[in-house]
């Protein structure tokens, strides 16, 4: 199997097209191809093949993760007063020192913390926090101020500024949609929904159960599906000519589909992943990394964190799945020899309110912790656990701007100048090992 | 207030086809021709007339004798593992029922695709986006669908009130657990942010007050709405400057009376039907017109479909078909007779729009977000199955479908002779033009026709070649546009 990097130019030149997409190529060949060619020649095409370059995996926890029950200030009486039914038992938390404990179901993450591969950044948020799922997610994905509306994503700006533009697979999102983080001037990034692309993919599909109307419907474990109002978010939709957009995407698809499918099918899956979408998505990412994809950024998402009602069972289940999946992912990477190249970062659009509501849940809040995991991570606790008494309208006040975390990753891990991507300078944290 | 109407000369085959695609789900060339013959006013009238009695919903929206309370009591005797198994079994049953409801709605969209009712119902489904993922009861999803359809073309405030009492919505946004004195804010927030005003047009204080007005909303085991007086906050609330012992309905009246509500909805409805961002002054004019019409949908749509701006060249054929549009319009354009169940079900999933399963409470973003490398590849791979041009293991899969879901899937196949006509009799260019127009609507398609001409010359005239031509058209980028 050939492992050569296929650029759009090379692809069109060789034109060994077996996919149904072959029919679309001749129709726009004269317009798009020459335009592409000219544009590509103008731009820098210094794309590292990615085999040795550092990789970022972004894991979105969609819906607003309840940070207080994730990284617990177990010594603070105010915590127990605010949450008579929801507070995690004082003795049950996994103590990390510094008066905080991890939720009991996050045992796999506790192990990673012990190994020095997990950084916990506390009190992350931004000024003038917005409590709308969609607006706040947009703020995190575009790295804007709360009163600014940007269309392009922070990773899209990274791709535009720093990655040359020839390689459409520089960003890969697992799922059907591209996150707004990837939104860039030209469509870039590939959405891969896990094994169903390309002509041969079709045959495999038919072999699966035909009655699987939607993956969500196949899940039969519904100990609780509270929090399910937010399963996932979709990317933004830029204005402009629709036909050109489709043509460009068709070309991107043709270039990348064959390669991704081949890699994902050729490598055996790692072990220890929990059942369910998140586990299989992270497993797929590990395989793509191992298969030598030139991708710099992968994106996966886990939904269901919007726990307004009867939070306890759902939240524990989600955290447990997340912890297990992330730990299995790191272990898989280690076995394949890639642990040192990968940093995984979680994010959620906001945390949740300190005081529980009358329905056994919590409403939208503000600051919350996030995790970084991987071989390149300088493990430990960062920031401080926000005060439970000095609040902003009932919500935790952030101590660290999320763009500081982005700046750190851009500068110290992806090794690019953060100002070009974020528009401003943000203080960095010593989150990345120096090697 | 003056609106620029479409002039008489502007009503052409092209603009008529555009209206049929946007307001409905498109149609065959003959249907488009007949639609054009009605004239603009006649066509709009036709769109707004309800179709003859619809297909009956296969799932009883509010089942009788379905005693959830009794079942829960039975379950309290068994242990946790047993309970989980029972719930998993229940969910499998509900899923089967949901498949029936999804299929039913798709068939209805096909059947009345020359009317606006289903297209508007689909809009409301995305607007009040409620997902089976959390609701878990197919009957409740069906009931919500019925409610949306009943009120789709009527008063918007009345629609919102009906939705606030809808069992699926009450479960979805946690109204059933919301009680005085500590209500949860989920519904209150989304009512303002997503259903009526849009983000940034209210204060957090409003949300807190509004949450109080929606306390005590409950549903019985069969989904019937009732209000629990013990859990209801009867006190005085202050919302947008109005004070009083406000009920949920009062709040909806106040919220929808805000000028911003008309603006927010008009912009969204415009985007759905026209495909771009509506700005002032037209936005302001349309919103004011709608307020004068007491936020009734029918007059708004009549106005919208008669505006010159609706038929602007930059609008025609510039909107990316949503997955549902793609499914139903393809079937109608190629006169399949119905929507084939299995390919449609797979298409919903892979193209990213599954009925009754929106990704979140904001519904589907739509427009360009429908197209990614994954979904575009899926469209091109699945369209041939949708048209029945790749039967492969159809019978085996159909049998499996029946055993898993308990009903026969609808099947359909493209009648290539009917579509491509008597191949030997027509001159090449005409038939290619006709075929292209069936796929894309009236217009000029020199590029696609050139490609097809080359294929005809290479492969000669045969049924297989005709299939290839159809394939070329339905996998082209242009086919994704509506």
Interface pTM (ipTM) of the complex? 0.87
Report the greatest alpha carbon distance in chain A. Answer: 70
Three-class SS of residue B57?
coil
Q: How many CA atoms lie within 13 A of A199 on its CB side?
A: 9
B104–A contact, CB cutoff 8 A: no
Report the distance separating Cα A172 and Cα A175, nearest Å. 9
> Are the beta carbons of A27 and B448 separated by less than 8 Å?
yes
**Selected residue with higher pLDDT from B469 and A25:** B469
Three-class SS of residue A373?
strand
In sequence order, the β-bridge partners of residue A380 are: A119
Report the distance separating Cα A126 and Cα A144, nearest Å. 10
Region label for A411, one of left (φ > 0), alpha (ψ between -120 and 50) or beta (otherwise): alpha
Three-class SS of residue B275?
coil
Rg of chain B, C-alpha, whole Å: 24
Region label for B409, one of left (φ > 0), alpha (ψ between -120 and 50) or beta (otherwise): beta
Which of A196, A217, A311 to mutate to probe the B interface, most B CBs <10 Å? A217
pLDDT at A239: 59
Element (H, E) at A407: helix A402-408
CA closest to B470 among chain A residues: A23
pLDDT score of A39 more than 70: no
Q: What sign does the CA torsion over B208, B209, B212, B213 have?
A: negative
The C-alpha of B386 sits at a distance from chain A's nearest C-alpha, in angstroms, of 13
**Quick one: tokens of A131?**
């409590």
Kindly state the average pLDDT of the residues A79-98.
93
The C-alpha of A99 sits at a distance from chain B's nearest C-alpha, in angstroms, of 30
pLDDT score of A29 more than 50: no
pLDDT at B461: 77
**Pair B184, B172: CB distance under 8 Å:** no
Report the distance separating Cα B335 and Cα B329, nearest Å. 10
Give chain A positions within 8 Å (CB) of B452. Answer: none
pLDDT score of A281 more than 80: yes
pLDDT at A226: 53
Kindly state the average pLDDT of the residues A194-215.
36
Question: Dihedral of the CA atoms A277, A280, A282, A288 (nearest 10)?
Answer: -130
The C-alpha of B360 sits at a distance from chain A's nearest C-alpha, in angstroms, of 5
Helix residue ranges, H only, A130-196? 133-142, 154-162
Confidence of residue A38 (pLDDT cuts 50, 70, 90): very low
Give chain A positions within 8 Å (CB) of B186. Answer: 229, 306, 308-309, 363
B354–A contact, CB cutoff 8 A: yes
Nearest to B178 by CA among B188, B191, B163: B188
Report the distance separating Cα A192 and Cα A252, nearest Å. 12
pLDDT tens figures, A321-366? 999 999 999 999 999 999 999 999 999 999 999 999 888 899 999 9
Element (H, E) at A343: strand A342-347
B360–A contact, CB cutoff 8 A: yes
**Pair A336, A330: CB distance under 8 Å:** no
Query: Would you list the DSSP string of B156-178?
Result: HHHHHHHHHT-HHHHHHTT-TT-
Give chain A positions within 8 Å (CB) of B380. Answer: 19-21, 23-24
CA closest to B138 among chain A residues: A217
Q: Which residues contact B30 (CB under 8 A, 6 or more apart)?
A: none
CA closest to B320 among chain A residues: A242
Give chain B positions within 8 Å (CB) of A394. Answer: none
Element (H, E) at A382: strand A380-382
pLDDT at A216: 38
pLDDT at A366: 96
In tens digits, chain B (482 residues) has pLDDT values of: 689 999 999 999 999 999 999 999 999 999 999 999 999 999 999 999 989 887 778 887 665 444 555 565 566 666 777 777 788 888 888 989 999 999 999 999 999 999 999 999 999 999 999 999 899 999 999 999 999 999 999 999 999 999 999 999 999 999 998 999 989 899 999 999 999 999 999 999 999 999 999 999 999 878 899 999 999 999 999 999 999 999 999 999 999 999 999 999 999 999 999 999 999 999 999 999 999 999 999 999 999 999 999 999 999 999 999 999 999 999 999 999 999 999 999 999 989 999 999 988 889 988 888 998 888 888 988 998 899 887 666 777 788 888 888 888 898 888 887 887 655 555 678 888 989 999 999 999 888 888 888 888 888 777 788 888 898 899 889 999 99
pLDDT tens figures, A403-423? 999 999 999 999 999 999 999
> CA-based angle A326:A85:A304, to the nearest 5?
35
**Quick one: tokens of B99?**
């498949």
**Quick one: tokens of B182?**
């500590």
Query: The whole model's pTM is what?
Result: 0.81
Percent of chain A clearing pLDDT 70 (strictly above): 75
Kindly state the average pLDDT of the residues A179-185.
88
Query: Would you list the DSSP string of A184-204?
Result: -SS---EEE-SS--HHHHHHH
- The 10 Å Cβ neighbour count of residue B412 is 20
pLDDT score of A163 more than 50: yes
Which of A48-52, A86-90, A159-163, A207-211 is predicted most confidently? A86-90
Give chain A positions within 8 Å (CB) of B193. Answer: 132, 134
pLDDT at A167: 76
Question: In B274-377, where do the E strands start and end?
Answer: none
**Pair A355, A83: CB distance under 8 Å:** yes
Q: Which residues contact B381 (CB under 8 A, 6 or more apart)?
A: A20, A199, A201, A202
Q: How many CB pairs under 8 A join A and B?
A: 247
Question: Dihedral of the CA atoms B240, B243, B245, B249 (nearest 10)?
Answer: -30
Element (H, E) at B312: none
In sequence order, the β-bridge partners of residue A171 are: A297
The C-alpha of A42 sits at a distance from chain B's nearest C-alpha, in angstroms, of 25
B467–A contact, CB cutoff 8 A: no
What does pLDDT average to over chain A?
80
Q: How many CA atoms lie within 13 A of A151 on its CB side?
A: 9
pLDDT score of A9 more than 70: no
**Quick one: tokens of B477?**
């980028």
pLDDT score of A17 more than 60: no
Which residue from A24, A177, A221 is facing B372, i.e. has the nearest CB? Answer: A177
Q: How far is Cα of residue B288 from the mean position of the Cα atoms in its chain?
A: 26
Rg of chain A, C-alpha, whole Å: 22
**Pair B237, B246: CB distance under 8 Å:** yes
pLDDT at A193: 72
CA closest to B471 among chain A residues: A23
Three-class SS of residue B364?
coil
Confidence of residue A194 (pLDDT cuts 50, 70, 90): low
Report the distance separating Cα A199 and Cα A193, nearest Å. 15
pLDDT score of A71 more than 90: yes
Tell me how far CA of residue A404 lies from CA of A121, A125, A349, B84, in angstroms.
11, 10, 16, 44
pLDDT at A54: 93
**Pair B213, B164: CB distance under 8 Å:** no
In this structure, the strands spanning A118-125 and A368-374 are antiparallel
pLDDT score of A242 more than 80: yes
Confidence of residue A199 (pLDDT cuts 50, 70, 90): very low
**Quick one: tokens of A95?**
């103590």
Q: What are the counts of helices (DSSP H) followed by strands (DSSP E) for chain A?
A: 14, 12
Three-class SS of residue A431?
coil
pLDDT at A233: 66
pLDDT at A222: 36
> CA-based angle A390:A134:A274, to the nearest 5?
90
**Pair B222, B62: CB distance under 8 Å:** yes
Q: How many CA atoms lie within 13 A of B65 on its CB side?
A: 0
pLDDT at A188: 80
């Amino acid at each position: 199997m050939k492992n050569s990097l296929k650029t759009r130019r090379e692809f069109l030149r060789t034109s060994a097209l077996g996919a149904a997409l072959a029919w679309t190529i001749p129709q726009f060949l004269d317009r798009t191809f020459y335009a592409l060619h000219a544009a590509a020649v103008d731009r820098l095409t210094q794309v590292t093949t990615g085999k040795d370059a550092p990789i970022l995996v972004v894991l979105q926890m969609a819906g607003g993760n309840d940070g207080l029950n994730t990284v617990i200030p177990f010594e603070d009486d105010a915590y127990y007063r605010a949450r008579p039914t929801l507070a995690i038992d004082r003795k049950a938390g996994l103590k990390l020192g510094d008066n905080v404990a991890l939720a009991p179901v996050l045992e796999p993450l506790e192990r990673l913390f012990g190994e020095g591969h997990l950084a916990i950044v506390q009190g992350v948020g931004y000024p003038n926090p917005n409590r709308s799922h969609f607006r706040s997610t947009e703020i995190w994905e575009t790295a804007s101020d709360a009163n600014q509306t940007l269309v392009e994503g922070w990773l899209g700006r990274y791709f535009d500024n720093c990655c040359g533009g020839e390689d459409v697979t520089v960003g890969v999102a697992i799922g059907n949609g591209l996150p707004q983080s990837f939104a860039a001037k030209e469509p870039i990034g590939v959405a891969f929904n896990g094994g169903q692309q390309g002509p041969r993919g079709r045959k495999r599909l038919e072999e699966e159960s035909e009655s699987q109307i939607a993956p969500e419907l196949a899940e039969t474990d519904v100990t609780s599906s509270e929090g399910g109002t937010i399963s996932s978010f979709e990317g933004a939709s830029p204005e402009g000519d629709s036909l050109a957009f489709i043509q460009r995407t068709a070309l991107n698809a043709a270039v990348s589909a064959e390669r991704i499918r081949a890699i994902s099918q050729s490598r055996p899956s790692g072990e220890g992943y929990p059942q369910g979408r998140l586990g299989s998505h992270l497993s797929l990412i590990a395989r793509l990394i191992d298969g030598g994809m030139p991708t710099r950024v992968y994106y996966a998402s886990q939904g269901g964190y919007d726990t307004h009602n009867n939070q306890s069972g759902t939240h524990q289940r989600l955290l447990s799945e997340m912890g297990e999946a992330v730990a299995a992912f790191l272990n898989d990477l280690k076995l394949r020899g890639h642990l040192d190249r990968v940093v995984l970062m979680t994010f959620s659009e906001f945390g949740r309110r300190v005081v529980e509501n009358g329905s056994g849940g919590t409403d939208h809040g503000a600051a919350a912790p996030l995790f970084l995991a991987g071989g390149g991570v300088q493990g430990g606790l960062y920031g401080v656990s926000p005060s439970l008494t000095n609040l902003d309208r009932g919500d935790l006040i952030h101590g660290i701007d999320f763009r500081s975390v982005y700046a750190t990753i851009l500068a110290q891990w992806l090794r690019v100048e953060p100002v070009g991507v974020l528009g401003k300078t943000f203080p960095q944290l010593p989150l990345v090992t120096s090697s | 207030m003056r609106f620029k109407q479409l002039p008489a000369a502007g009503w052409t085959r092209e603009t008529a086809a555009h209206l049929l695609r946007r307001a409905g789900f498109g149609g065959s060339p003959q249907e488009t021709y007949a639609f054009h013959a009605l004239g603009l006013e006649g066509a709009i009238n036709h769109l707004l007339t309800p179709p003859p009695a619809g297909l009956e919903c296969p799932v009883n929206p509010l089942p009788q004798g379905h005693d959830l309370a009794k079942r829960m009591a039975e379950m309290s005797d068994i242990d946790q593992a047993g309970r989980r198994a029972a719930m998993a079994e229940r969910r499998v049953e509900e899923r089967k029922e949901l498949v029936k409801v999804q299929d039913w709605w798709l068939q209805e969209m096909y059947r009345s695709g020359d009317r606006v009712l289903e297209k508007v119902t689909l809009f409301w489904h995305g607007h009040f986006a409620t997902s089976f993922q959390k609701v878990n009861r197919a009957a409740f999803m069906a009931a919500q669908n019925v409610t949306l359809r009943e009120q789709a073309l009527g008063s918007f405030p009345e629609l919102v009130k009906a939705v606030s009492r809808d069992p699926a919505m009450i479960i979805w946004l946690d109204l059933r657990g919301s009680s005085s004195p500590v209500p949860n804010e989920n519904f209150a927030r989304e009512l303002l942010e997503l259903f009526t005003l849009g983000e940034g047009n209210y204060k957090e204080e409003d949300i807190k007050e509004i949450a109080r007005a929606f306390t005590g909303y409950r549903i019985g085991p069969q989904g019937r709405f009732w209000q629990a007086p013990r859990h209801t906050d009867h006190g005085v609330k202050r919302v947008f400057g109005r004070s009083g012992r406000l009920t949920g309905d009062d709040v909806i009246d106040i919220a929808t009376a805000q000028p911003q509500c008309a603006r927010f909805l008009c912009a969204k409805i415009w985007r759905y039907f026209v495909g771009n961002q509506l700005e002032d002054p037209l936005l302001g004019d349309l919103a004011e017109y709608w307020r004068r019409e007491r936020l009734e949908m029918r007059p708004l749509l009549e106005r919208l479909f008669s505006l010159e701006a609706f038929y602007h060249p930059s609008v025609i054929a510039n909107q990316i078909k949503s997955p549902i549009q793609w499914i139903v319009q393809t079937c109608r354009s190629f006169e399949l007779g119905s929507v084939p169940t299995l390919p449609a079900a797979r298409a919903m999933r892979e193209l990213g729009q599954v009925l009754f399963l929106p990704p979140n409470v904001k519904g589907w973003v739509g427009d360009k977000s429908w197209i990614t490398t994954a979904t575009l590849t899926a469209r091109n791979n699945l369209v041939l199955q949708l048209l029945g041009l790749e039967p492969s293991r159809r019978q085996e899969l159909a049998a499996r479908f029946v055993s898993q879901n308990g009903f026969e899937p609808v099947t359909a196949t493209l009648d290539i002779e009917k579509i491509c006509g008597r191949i030997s009799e027509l001159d090449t260019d005409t038939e290619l033009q006709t075929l292209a127009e069936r796929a894309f609507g009236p217009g000029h398609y020199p590029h696609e026709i050139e490609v097809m001409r080359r294929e005809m010359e290479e492969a000669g005239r045969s049924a297989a070649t005709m299939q290839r031509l159809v394939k070329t058209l339905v996998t082209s980028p242009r086919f994704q546009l509506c």
